[in-house]
Each structure stands twice: as structure tokens, then as C-alpha cells.
């Protein structure tokens, strides 16, 4: 009978697998091309092992190199895996018609995002009907504390658990970002009362976002939002956006119950 390896018998992580994932996550969080020295400084792996790991991942398509073969970045296979995650996700599928209607009702940019640790990851986007610089956030990761999605999702957790989820230091993305943990906790209390959260230029100057969690599970994992330039907001338009957002939330909850 074949004997189990120490890693298999103890349930300890396999070092090469851990390093592979950490390397891919490094590239995902640092777009562009990077030298071996840059990656080595960030991850502190032995240079010889790091080089062999990079070359293996290049051959498999998970990492790409520039024309010189000395700089490395994320490869196309990572995109294929990421796309398959979105294509196979039940929430994304159920949300498509809801996001389409919310975009039509508000004519603004719509996002669906998922909480991952102390960040939110964007899963789907509908672009504004107004003329704006084109952009997409699908696959992008942002701090939960600075977004309406994130605050709406954090509000579904007890305060003590929120404190455990948040990093020790809250990054300041704009002059309006809440970086005091207790101030953020107070705001989450208001979010629980109103049913929606507001990102008041805390992530991008000139942009206000309204977000609400989709509580088909508790704590919630997913949220939807409406983003609009502050210059286009009037009291009446703000009310229209909030009502459309909460109605979309209710439709998506209903859709999720039928899955």
C-alpha cells in the first residue's frame, strides 16, 4: 500500500501550490509587466525557485512575458478561468434581467459585486446611457469600506464581526473616504435602518453610488449599486434612484428563491 506524504496525512498546504496561487494573485493585484527582481522583492521566494515557477506558468499560459522574456504578467488562461466563474454563477445569471431593467429605469451605471474578505469584487456591469468615458469593473477588486456595495454587505454582519473583517488600517481613496473604523461602524447602523448604503465620493471624486445587499443568504454575499455623477443629482432624481434600486433588490431576491 502506498504511503501518504506528510502533507497529505496532516492536511498541511502544499508549498508549491500555495506559491503558485500567491504568484497569480500578485499579478492580478499588480497589473502590467514585472521583472523577476520585483516579484522576488514582493514575495520573498528563492530566486531560483521563483524563476522555475514563472517559466512553468509561462509554458502553461497562466503567465505571459514581454518581448525580452524578462518581464512577467498575468496570462490569458487566468481570464478564461475568471470568465467561467462568472458564466457559471447562479446569482450573475439571475441578476442579468434585473440589472438590465435597473439600468433602463435609471439610465445610470449599474454594478453587481461580491464580498471577498474585506474587499468587493465586481461581477457584472451595465454602462450608463449618458456619455461617459467607457470603463468596466468586472473582475476589479476594491476595499469594501469605500464602496456602497461593500458598506451594504458589511452592514449584514454584526459589528464585532465587521471589526474582524476590516483591515487594521482603512485605505483612503479620496478625501471623503471613511478611514475611522468606529465611524464606519456607526454608518453601518444607518445602512441597516435605511436598507441601502451611499458612497459619497469616497471611492471616486465626482461620483456618488447607492448600493443595497441581496439578502438571499445571511450574512449577504452580493450587492447591486447605481453610480451617478454628483453634478447630475437632484433631490427628485436621488429619490428615483433609491426607489429603483430597492425595487431591483426585491426582484432579485424573488428570482433567487426560484433557483
Answer whether residue 3 shows pLDDT above 80. no
* Percentage of the chain exceeding pLDDT 90: 69
Q: Are residues 145 and 211 in the same domain?
A: yes
Three-state SS string across 116-180, please? ECCEEEEEEEECCCCCCCCCCCCCCEEEHHHCHHHHHHHCCCCHHHHHHHCCCCCCCCCCCCCCC
Give the relative orientation of helices 76-87 and 15-29 as an angle to the nearest 10 degrees: 90
Let me know the angle formed at the C-alpha of 8 by 5 and 9, rounded to the nearest 5 degrees.
85
What domain count does the chain have? 2
Q: Are 206 and 228 in contact (CB under 8 A)?
A: no
In this prediction, residue 2 has a pLDDT band, given cuts at 50, 70 and 90, of very low
What radius of gyration, in Å, describes the C-alpha atoms of the chain? 21
- 231 with 126, same domain? yes
Q: Which of 7-11, 162-166, 196-200 has the lowest mean pLDDT?
A: 7-11
Say if 1 falls within a structural domain: no
20 has pLDDT over 80: yes
Give residue 209's domain range.
Answer: 88-257
For residue 129, give the nearest of 202, 232, 198, 212 by alpha carbon: 232
83 lies in some domain? no
Q: What average pLDDT does range 216-234 have in this prediction?
A: 92
- Rounded Cα–Cα distance for residues 164 and 183 (Å): 15
- Residue located via cell numbers 493585484: 29
Residues 53 and 115 in one domain: no
What CA–CA distances, in Å, run from 186 to 117, 170, 212?
20, 15, 17
d(CA 95, CA 88): 13
Shared-domain flag, residues 134 and 52: no
Residue 76's pLDDT is 85
> Using 50, 70 and 90 to split pLDDT, how confident is the model at 1?
very low
Residue 116 included in any domain: yes
The answer on 33 and 125 residing in a single domain is: no
Instruction: Indicate if the pLDDT at residue 179 is higher than 90.
Output: yes
Residue 70 inside a domain? The answer is yes
- Same structural domain, 169 and 120: yes
Query: What's the grid cell of residue 38?
Result: 520585483
Shared domain check, 225 and 159: yes
Final residue of a structural domain among 44, 77, 110: 77
Q: Are 83 and 57 in contact (CB under 8 A)?
A: no
At 92 the three-state DSSP class reads: helix
The CATH number of whichever domain residue 231 belongs to comes to: 3.30.450.40
Do residues 92 and 153 both lie within one domain?
yes
Domain C-terminal end among 77, 96, 113: 77
pTM (predicted TM-score): 0.77
Last residue in a domain, options 31, 55, 77: 77
64-101 residue pLDDT tens? 999 999 999 998 888 888 778 787 888 999 999 999 99
Amino acid at each position: 500500500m502506498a504511503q501518504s506524504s506528510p502533507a497529505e496525512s496532516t492536511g498541511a498546504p502544499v508549498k508549491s501550490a500555495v506559491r503558485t496561487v500567491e504568484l497569480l494573485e500578485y499579478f492580478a493585484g499588480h497589473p502590467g509587466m514585472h521583472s523577476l527582481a520585483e516579484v522576488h522583492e514582493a514575495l520573498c521566494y528563492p530566486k531560483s525557485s521563483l524563476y522555475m515557477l514563472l517559466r512553468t506558468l509561462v509554458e502553461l499560459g497562466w503567465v505571459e512575458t514581454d518581448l525580452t522574456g524578462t518581464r512577467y504578467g498575468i496570462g490569458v488562461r487566468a481570464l478564461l478561468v475568471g470568465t467561467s466563474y462568472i458564466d457559471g454563477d447562479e446569482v450573475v445569471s439571475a441578476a442579468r434581467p434585473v440589472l438590465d431593467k435597473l439600468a433602463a429605469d435609471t439610465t445610470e451605471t449599474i454594478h453587481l459585486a461580491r464580498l471577498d474578505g474585506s474587499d468587493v469584487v465586481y461581477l457584472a456591469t451595465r454602462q450608463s446611457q449618458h456619455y461617459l468615458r467607457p470603463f468596466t469593473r468586472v473582475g476589479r477588486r476594491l476595499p469594501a469600506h469605500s464602496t456602497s456595495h461593500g458598506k451594504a454587505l458589511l452592514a449584514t454582519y454584526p459589528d464585532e464581526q465587521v471589526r474582524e473583517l476590516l483591515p487594521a488600517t482603512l485605505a483612503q481613496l479620496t478625501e471623503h473616504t471613511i478611514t475611522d473604523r468606529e465611524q464606519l461602524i456607526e454608518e453601518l447602523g444607518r445602512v441597516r435602518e435605511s436598507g441601502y448604503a451611499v458612497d459619497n465620493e469616497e471611492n471616486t471624486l465626482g461620483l456618488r453610488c447607492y448600493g443595497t445587499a441581496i439578502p438571499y443568504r445571511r450574512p449577504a454575499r452580493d450587492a447591486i449599486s447605481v453610480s451617478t455623477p454628483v453634478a447630475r443629482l437632484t433631490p427628485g432624481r436621488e429619490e428615483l434612484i433609491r426607489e429603483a434600486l430597492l425595487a431591483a433588490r426585491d426582484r432579485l431576491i424573488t428570482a433567487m428563491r426560484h433557483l
